Structure 1
Amino acid sequence: MLRHIIPLSLAALALAGAAGNLLASPPTRTPAASDPYAAHARNPLLPGYFADPSIVHYKGEWFIFATMDPWGGEKLGLWRSRDFRNWTFSTPNWPTKAAAHSSTSGSANVWAPSVVRGRDGRFWMYVSVGNEVWVGTATHPVGPWKDANHGKPLIARNFRPGFHMIDAEAFIDDDGAAYLYWGSGLNWVNGHCFVVKLKPDMVTLDGEVRDVTPPHYFEGPFMLKRDGHYFLMSSYGNTTKDTYQVRYAVGDTPFGPFREPDDNPLLATDAAAQIISPGHHAVFRVNGQDYILYHRQALPFPRAGDEVLRQVAVDRLDVSGERLLPVRPTHQGPDIPGTAAHRQAGRRVALSASAASDVLHNAEKAGDDNYATGWQAPPGTATSWLQADLGATGPIPASSLRPADLLHPLRFTIETSRDASSWERRGQPILAQSSPVRLPALGGKARYVRLVFEGTPDILEWTFP
């Protein structure tokens, strides 16, 4: 399956990630670019398993829409933040797998949103559901969203037989004209890119659909215009392997023709840095500087059973005339003007657990402020616990959990103790499917707080103020 990467042993990776152990060394705010397990690493940007991001900035707030991994859910994931570092999760009311369904729909879940603001001031979402493209609209990124095409797909699954009608991306040109790009192949080969102009209603196709497939293309088109040049960016390769990458071609009109420069790919696997299969991206601009938002494989990679879990990261993108300069993917992420330099720091606590799935997922990884790492209980465990030692007996503060898997709810109870021997259950069982999961301050005093879970949770961070 994996041809070009020799995975490090778990022991070697654990040693490489020693800087991420808050209990072993003082925290640092400048993690090494090559260390995926360093404390306070800012990539992955979002806590959890997500892919195919689309980003909007509106009234001082950032919104990221994304596919929920593995391979989508019944809804989309939506993250929002005012500082670009501390994100809150929700799911938009539309689309859902049930609501966006037609006689031509396939079996695929909700994938690959593209959200733009049209010339009418409204927000428009083009999203893949059931292997076809649907369109919705709202007056605010949070919604409420509604179907904009009267219960029908904009691009039906059988629109071009032999190709996947997915991964639609809207582009608004400088004159306000809107275009829609989409298309993928089958079985990870033979991708084709289609484009059509949209009428001002953002729903009706205006003219013929054109095939503008560049030499190396599979899926995930994104149109970027800079200084009169039209850059048709896209993903090539296989996202389940190490071959996935971002490439581009350049043209003089939204329809091309597009020529592919020699300096491709734009963004690709960096095996030495443990950055695997970056792709399906969006581009946004702050103060004249471009940034690329993309997904890459969650670590460690490859996973047992060919499980596909991806995470969202961001890095700097530079444009030079008719060229997009190769992107250097990082773990520390870029400094973006007007955004927070780091996430809110948590209190230093000692974490322990009933058991861990392996050395890369021990309890301490849930306290390193790095969304690439976290605590996982061993597979097949009926109950498991994660415990915090606050250092001394005192009031029990509020705390926050960042679960990695937001497709499934967490089920747990809270217990406290003064001596880690005698435990008191606090409150009723909790069922949560959010991020962060906010746990309230508790009455009385204790030194230890324990979360007792049903099953095998995956906790990226447990933070105390």
Structure 2
Amino acid sequence: MPRLTCRLTDRLRRWAPALLLLAAPLTLAADEPPRWDAAGASNPLLPGYFADPSIVRDGGRWYVFATIDPWGDDRLGLWTSDNGRDWRFSTPEWPTKRAATSPTSGDSKVWAPSVVRAVNGRWYMYVSVGSEVWVGSAPSPAGPWRDANGGKPLIKRDFAPAYHMIDAEAFVDDDGRAYLYWGSGLNWVNGHCFVVRLKPDMVTFDGTPRDVTPANYFEGPFMMKAHGRYLLTYSDGNTTRDTYKVRYAVGATPFGPFKEAADSPILQTDAARDIVSPGHHAIFRSGSASYILYHRQALPWPQHGDAVLRQVAVDRLTIRRDGTLAPVRPTHGSAVAGFAAARDRGLRWQPVGDGAHAADDNYATLWRAPANAVGTLTADLGSVRQVKGSRLRPEFATRSYRYAIEASRDGKRWTRLAAPRERSGSPIMLRHAVTARYLRLTVATPGAGLWEWSID
């Protein structure tokens, strides 16, 4: 299958003006509920705020590497799944901000990974740390990941000072030759796209980098090949507003020249359907179908304050027989046919009181504890039945939360199953074998959000 293939002192300098100019909130008719507020919605794909995703498959398992929002973290996010629908969060051991920093990198965080398998059988990651590109290698997407360039950046910040040296994306052609594309703009002025062939070690440049910038290019290049044509897909616009989108240009070689296609862009804001600023994508195949994995603004949008929080979604991509791309229709509730079925929701339950968003199988909606108090959620299983445990998907997989669980047969007499203690990750697993009709979850972290509570 083909390669399964944005960023605040540095990033703040680039984005701060836009943060003060967020567009007005999207509005809906008073009698029309939000289109994304529906049970069973399978997009967003991941429970949390992540961006710039890269996806690969190995040994029957999917791996999604992504920027941790807001604006990166000291490490990357890694989500793994055996079915493409139920995902588990972790962080790879490399890169970290501490391990991949040079005197010229700046203090921005870790973001925008690209992971690819080379013809030598090893996996390589090209990742932005600060305003530079680093490269690591591993025997498997699961790791262990290690620096592959002697503890120094592959592309330094000063390679082309007028542009950001970030968003590197690797492409392996049919003949096994590998290429690296990268580049972004500054202060929301469009950037330049550079490309260089890589030697078989996937680290050394084989020649001099070339500028292959197509029209309307800002950042996030992703190369693919279809029907003998090279399609350079990329992002344009402002991810903090509603102008971010995916465009593409066509060339006869990996070096172009690239001419933007007549039907570009292929993915953009659809305010009527609450799709805001989709972009920085990867394109991959599952079975006989092609898909585009991308981030878009979390809902409701805009967020309070100056936060820009994005979520990862996946949709079908149609590649025409002439090697062009059809416009993508982004979804909220599709089962994403051919890639993944419905999520494993466990035992169905009804909330007692205000808790519907924790039981709607929708990662666009949150239940949230009171800002200055402990919150409780009570689940009614409908009858007395055996329960094995709970899976909690918190708002931020990287933060710690305090949870406790109680059980009851009649909703009056309660037995504690798990005492309050701090836990992190996603999903957070609570084992509590019991026979009960009601479960009561205490969230002892004020203001904590919960995407879903699954009961097994």
CA shift digits 1:276-330 (9 cap, x unpaired) = 1000000001334211111111100111113111111111111221421111111
**CA distance, structure 1, for counterparts of residue 226 and residue 169 of structure 2:** 17
Q: Give the drift of 1:191.
A: 1.1
Q: Is the 8 A contact 1:165 1:182 kept in 2?
A: yes
Identity in percent = 57
**CA distance, structure 2, for counterparts of residue 218 and residue 407 of structure 1:** 29
Q: Does 1:435 align with 2:426?
A: yes
SS in 2 for 1:92: coil
Equivalent residue, structure 2, for 1:411: 402
Equivalent residue, structure 1, for 2:100: 100
Change (3 A) 1:209 1:52: same
Code of the aligned partner of 1:7: T
Equivalent residue, structure 1, for 2:297: 297
Equivalent residue, structure 1, for 2:144: 144
Code of the aligned partner of 2:234: S
SS in 1 for 2:206: strand
Q: Give the drift of 1:402.
A: 1.1
Equivalent residue, structure 2, for 1:367: 359
Alignment of 1:327-338 (within 5 A): 327-333=328-334, 335-337=336-338
Alignment of 1:352-431 (within 5 A): 352=352, 363-378=355-370, 380-393=371-384, 395-418=386-409, 420=411, 423-431=414-422
Equivalent residue, structure 2, for 1:16: 33
**CA distance, structure 2, for counterparts of residue 53 and residue 408 of structure 1:** 20
**CA distance, structure 2, for counterparts of residue 424 and residue 8 of structure 1:** 44
Q: Give the drift of 1:443.
A: 4.7
Q: Is the 8 A contact 2:22 2:240 kept in 1?
A: no
Q: Give the drift of 1:237.
A: 0.3
Coordinate RMSD, CA, aligned: 2.0
Code of the aligned partner of 1:265: P
Q: Give the drift of 1:438.
A: 1.2
CA shift digits 1:173-206 (9 cap, x unpaired) = 1111111001111111131111111111000111
**CA distance, structure 2, for counterparts of residue 103 and residue 275 of structure 1:** 39
Q: Is the 8 A contact 1:365 1:374 kept in 2?
A: yes
Change (3 A) 1:228 1:4: farther
Q: Give the drift of 1:424.
A: 4.5
Q: Give the drift of 1:450.
A: 2.4
Q: Give the drift of 1:38.
A: 1.8
Equivalent residue, structure 2, for 1:263: 263
Q: Is the 8 A contact 1:419 1:448 kept in 2?
A: no
**CA distance, structure 2, for counterparts of residue 4 and residue 262 of structure 1:** 30
Equivalent residue, structure 2, for 1:80: 80
Alignment of 1:81-230 (within 5 A): 81-230=81-230
Equivalent residue, structure 2, for 1:7: 27
Q: Give the drift of 1:248.
A: 0.6
Equivalent residue, structure 2, for 1:27: none
Q: Is the 8 A contact 1:283 1:292 kept in 2?
A: yes
Q: Does 1:457 align with 2:448?
A: yes
**CA distance, structure 2, for counterparts of residue 340 and residue 248 of structure 1:** 26
Q: Is the 8 A contact 1:70 1:308 kept in 2?
A: yes
**CA distance, structure 2, for counterparts of residue 237 and residue 382 of structure 1:** 40
TM-score calculated relative to the size of structure 2 = 0.90
Deviates more, 1:426-435 or 1:146-155: 426-435
**CA distance, structure 1, for counterparts of residue 52 and residue 23 of structure 2:** 24
Q: Is the 8 A contact 1:313 1:333 kept in 2?
A: no
Change (3 A) 1:5 1:395: closer
**CA distance, structure 2, for counterparts of residue 63 and residue 336 of structure 1:** 19
Equivalent residue, structure 2, for 1:26: none
Deviates more, 1:229-238 or 1:400-409: 400-409
Change (3 A) 1:154 1:39: same
Q: Give the drift of 1:98.
A: 0.8
**CA distance, structure 2, for counterparts of residue 261 and residue 395 of structure 1:** 57
Deviates more, 1:299-308 or 1:430-439: 430-439
SS in 2 for 1:150: coil
CA shift digits 1:120-178 (9 cap, x unpaired) = 00000000111111100000111010000011010111221121111100000111111
Code of the aligned partner of 1:16: P
**CA distance, structure 2, for counterparts of residue 327 and residue 340 of structure 1:** 18
Q: Is the 8 A contact 1:415 1:452 kept in 2?
A: no
Q: Give the drift of 1:352.
A: 4.4
TM-score calculated relative to the size of structure 1 = 0.89
**CA distance, structure 2, for counterparts of residue 240 and residue 265 of structure 1:** 18
**CA distance, structure 2, for counterparts of residue 344 and residue 297 of structure 1:** 25
Deviates more, 1:407-416 or 1:71-80: 407-416
Equivalent residue, structure 2, for 1:253: 253
Code of the aligned partner of 2:33: A
Q: Is the 8 A contact 1:335 1:341 kept in 2?
A: yes
